[in-house]
Amino acid sequence: MKNQSRYATFIIGLLLWSIPLFAQEKILDDAFLRASQEGFSGVVLVAEDGKILFEKAVGYRSFEDKIPLKTDDIFELASVSKQFTAMLVMMCEEKGLLGFDDPADKYLEIPYREITIRNLLTHTSGLPDYQDIMDKHWDKSKVAGNPEILTYLRKYEPPMLFSPGEKYEYSNTGYVLLASIVEKATGKDFVALAKEWIFQPLGMKSTAIRSPEEKSKVNNFAAGHLLDEAGNYVNANKFHSSDYTVWLGNRKGPGRVSSTAVDLLKWDQALYTEKLVSQKTIEEAFTAFRLNDGIRSYYGFGWELEPKSPFGKMVSHTGDNPGYKTIIVRYIEENKTIIILNNNAHKDIIKLVEAATLSLYKW
């Protein structure tokens, strides 16, 4: 998650008009087969109006043990998790527990002023990278969570990167603060609250914020994999670059939700209803933020925004953790959904999204 970059949205509308309908019928099947042949490991789900049109799994839950992946296997979502953090903030706002334009230091003791909750949601806060300060100073034989992160931000006071609202810059620190604000506003643990307010009401039975110990007890948990020096896929936890997922294993807010493709479709469909919050609040989440100079920044509350896609307005998010690449794309004007969960950091995930988009035009 440390080097998560903003998802560069793709516009392929012209292609939709240049490919014969009979060819579009095979686009996704062919793309999936090609990705499979090139080593892709994961699940691809495509739906329209909540109805699954395409759902396939290929690759391995564990490459070392050669356990084949299944469509109901559980993946680490990485930064796709941010939309759930944002939703808990939105639910708190509707319950009158906080306001989007409240200052963050109203709820947390932090050495940064004039940052609003809205700034945190939209990555316009200017906060420094918490992982950098923890990497330099934290005893990595211990596991850190939000209280420790906040303590180290207070102790070392790394400087702001820019003034709040000046520009967009992706910030995992902001979403750590959001989770802690939710806990302060509700008096409840963030992990338990996500289960009580979102996962259970929506019937997302395979979705949770799990500790490493809890993950190890889930039989159908798809491990993340990376290539070793010999060119073999091995568990990503064996790499030094993955160590932060352990010593920062108790952090809440920017990641750590694990789920299945079908559960994410339940989440997707719930956003067309008012089961969690009103459509007015959801629309606010899907509205571009205006920076201090008046320019729009196209990141809402936990979602990348694209006003003009092949199917109208699109909201999406990617996730990137050691061995994992995940993405959810929602064409909200036509209720079309693409979900891809990958557990070997494959390079062609966006090609699959493009193929799925083209195939949706046929359906």
Q: Annotated active-site positions, please?
A: 79
Q: Which residue do the tokens 């694990």 mark?
A: 258
- Tell me how many degrees the CA angle 151-153-156 measures, rounded to the nearest 5: 105
Count other Cβ atoms within 10 Å, centred on residue 301.
Answer: 26
Amino acid occupying residue 214: E
Rounded CA separation 72/68 (Å)? 12
Q: 18 burial class (0-12, 13-18, 19+ CB within 10 angstroms)? A: exposed
| Strand blocks (E) in 59-187 | 60-62, 67-68, 75-76
CB 232 within 8 Å of CB 328: no
DSSP label of 140: T
Count other Cβ atoms within 10 Å, centred on residue 40.
Answer: 25
Tokens of residue 104, six digits: 């963050």
Instruction: Specify the pairing of strand 336-342 against strand 324-331.
Output: antiparallel
**What phi and psi values does residue 146 have, to the nearest 5 degrees?**
-60, -45
Q: 54 burial class (0-12, 13-18, 19+ CB within 10 angstroms)? A: middle
Q: Measure the N-to-C terminal CA separation of the chain; round to a whole number of Å.
A: 35
Sign of CA dihedral 261, 339, 178, 137: positive
